[in-house]
Structure 1
Amino acid sequence: MAEISSLFATRLYRARLSEHAPAIDPQELYDSCYSIAEDDEAGDAWCEANGYPGYTSYASLTDLPWRFPIFADLVRALDAHVAAFARDLAFDLGGKALELEDIWINILPEGGSHSGHIHPHSVISGTTYVSMPEGTSALRLEDPRLPMMMAAPPRAKDAPAELRAFHYEAPEVGDVLLWESWLRHEVPLNRSEGERVSVSFNYKWG
């Protein structure tokens, strides 16, 4: 009898942010994101210059945990989630923990999107979700083997999730998603009238 195995797994971590302390007040985090966005003139200028829809603090504010206590608490909770994911991935870290590299706010309005990309030089990347209006975009993850499938026929519409070329993960407010930083991902067009608010981050090793 033939034996078929699944090899070279791509892992996706999903959990409630609240599974690890300290507790984060969702409303305070939401209000903080908008308060920061309102005052971040450098961030607004970068978004305008680069055609970025909505707002991101990615290129303007590198010290959110130092500026705002709620972001310091958020990082402590994320540290625990990332450590749990690293154990699941069977990483041999040589006694060194994965450490936060950067963290930033994203506010994506109706009609906004974020094209496919990876996060070079990082180990684990992820996002926690602050506002997800009904009908807003799921996160789209791409099979990392896709560029090598030169002559492969398309998958059937009812193919198992692990065999599809793309996976759509629809998080809820208070969720945290983690993936390895080489995994290409994107945020498709936001078709909701409301703004999609999230906080993204990268972790490095060594």
Structure 2
Amino acid sequence: MPKIDSLFVTRLYRAALSEQGRGVDAQELLASCYSIAGDDEAGQAWCEENGYPGYTSYASLTDLPWRFPIFAELVRSLDAHVAAFAEDLGFDLGDKGLVLEDLWINILPEGGSHSSHIHPHSVISGTTYVAMPEDTSALKLEDPRLAMMMAAPPRRKDVGEALKSFVYLKPAVGEVLLWESWLRHEVPVNLSEEDRISVSFNYAWG
């Protein structure tokens, strides 16, 4: 009887934000995202210049936890989630922990998308979800080995999730997803008439 093991597993952390810390008021976070987007003229200009649909604070604001207490509370919860994930990954961090590198808002309107990308120079990346309309796009994760499968045939549609080339996840509002920053991911086109809103972040070592 052959023995088949799974090696070099890609880990994905998924939990309710409230499982770590005191939780975050969802309505206050939603209102804060819209308030910041409305006031951030530099961010609006960057989105227009770069053809980014909707709004992101990625290129304009680096101090959200200082500006809005709700984001400071959010970071306290994220710190605990990231520490738990780092423990699961078996990281030997020595005397330097994983620290928040950046945190930004994403508001994708109908027709908006975010193309496939990774997060260089970070260790753990992730997103927590503020508004997820019923018919909005999922998060698409790509098998990190895909580029090396030059001659591999396609896989059957009925293979288990661990063997798929792409995995689509539909997070709920108040949920947090974490992955190692080298994992390629994207947000397909938002087909909903309502905004898809999330807060993304990167953690670096030391």
Give the Cα–Cα distance (whole angstroms) in 2 for the partners of residues 95 and 89 of structure 1: 17
Equivalent position of 2:187 in the other structure = 187
Give the Cα–Cα distance (whole angstroms) in 2 for the partners of residues 16 and 61 of structure 1: 26
Equivalent position of 1:12 in the other structure = 12
Give the Cα–Cα distance (whole angstroms) in 2 for the partners of residues 139 and 85 of structure 1: 19
Give the Cα–Cα distance (whole angstroms) in 2 for the partners of residues 173 and 23 of structure 1: 12
SS of aligned partner of 2:202: strand
Give the Cα–Cα distance (whole angstroms) in 1 for the partners of residues 99 and 56 of structure 2: 22
User: Matched residues, percent identical?
Assistant: 77
Equivalent position of 1:75 in the other structure = 75
Give the Cα–Cα distance (whole angstroms) in 2 for the partners of residues 141 and 95 of structure 1: 32
Segments of 5+ residues of structure 1 without an aligned counterpart are none
Give the Cα–Cα distance (whole angstroms) in 2 for the partners of residues 96 and 79 of structure 1: 14
| 1:95 to partner: Cα distance | 2.5
Letter in 1 for 2:105: I
Equivalent position of 1:202 in the other structure = 202
Matched, 1:172 2:172: yes
| 1:35 to partner: Cα distance | 0.3
Q: 8 Å contact 1:117–1:185 — kept in the other structure? A: yes
Equivalent position of 1:44 in the other structure = 44
Give the Cα–Cα distance (whole angstroms) in 1 for the partners of residues 138 and 11 of structure 2: 17
Q: What do you get for the CA RMSD once the two structures are aligned?
A: 0.5
Give the Cα–Cα distance (whole angstroms) in 2 for the partners of residues 100 and 29 of structure 1: 19
Task: Give runs of ≥4 in structure 1 deviating > 4 Å.
Answer: none
| 1:21 to partner: Cα distance | 1.1
The normalised TM-score by structure 1 is 0.99
Q: How many residues align?
A: 206
Equivalent position of 1:121 in the other structure = 121
Give the Cα–Cα distance (whole angstroms) in 2 for the partners of residues 85 and 62 of structure 1: 24
| 1:97 to partner: Cα distance | 1.4
The normalised TM-score by structure 2 is 0.99
Q: 8 Å contact 1:22–1:74 — kept in the other structure? A: no
Letter in 2 for 1:204: A
Matched, 1:26 2:12: no
Give the Cα–Cα distance (whole angstroms) in 1 for the partners of residues 113 and 24 of structure 2: 27
SS of aligned partner of 1:36: helix
| 1:96 to partner: Cα distance | 1.8
Give the Cα–Cα distance (whole angstroms) in 1 for the partners of residues 26 and 95 of structure 2: 33
Letter in 1 for 2:192: S
Matched, 1:131 2:163: no
SS of aligned partner of 1:130: strand
Equivalent position of 2:152 in the other structure = 152
SS of aligned partner of 1:7: coil
